[in-house]
Amino acid sequence: MAALVVRFPERSLTIALLGRGAIFWMLARMMVVSISGALSGSVAVGLLPPSALALALGVGALGLLDARRRNEHRFLANLGISPFVIALLSTVPALVGELALGISGVR
């Protein structure tokens, strides 16, 4: 039976990808809040869990697209880092942020 081996980049690269993911999450979250405020007239910050998960996955896709745009995916592939790990590291800040907002009960 083959084991799934996920190789993470070096610490400085991991911190850079996590930071970029956090920026993407904040921008996506601001867009959701501003669009919901424009459409409904009241600002609703809280999201339902499926919507929060979709937002986090969208942030992961944005992180992967950004790495491809910067051609970092080739560099990381030469280091043995798969695109899945790039997307995963971009998704982690969004998941943590959405979980924190959900636990705090922000509406």
Higher pLDDT, 104 or 25: 25
Q: What is the DSSP letter of 9?
A: P
For residue 1, pLDDT over 60 is answered with no
Q: What is the pLDDT of residues 11-43, one digit of tens each?
A: 899 999 999 999 999 999 999 888 887 887 776
Which pLDDT belongs to residue 47?
Answer: 80
Between CA 56 and CA 70 the distance in angstroms is 21
Q: Would you tell me how many other CB atoms lie within 10 Å of the CB of residue 70? A: 11
pTM of the model: 0.85
Between CA 48 and CA 33 the distance in angstroms is 13
Which pLDDT belongs to residue 95?
Answer: 95
For residue 38, what are its two tokens? 């424009």
- Decide: 43 and 37 in contact? Cβ < 8 Å: yes
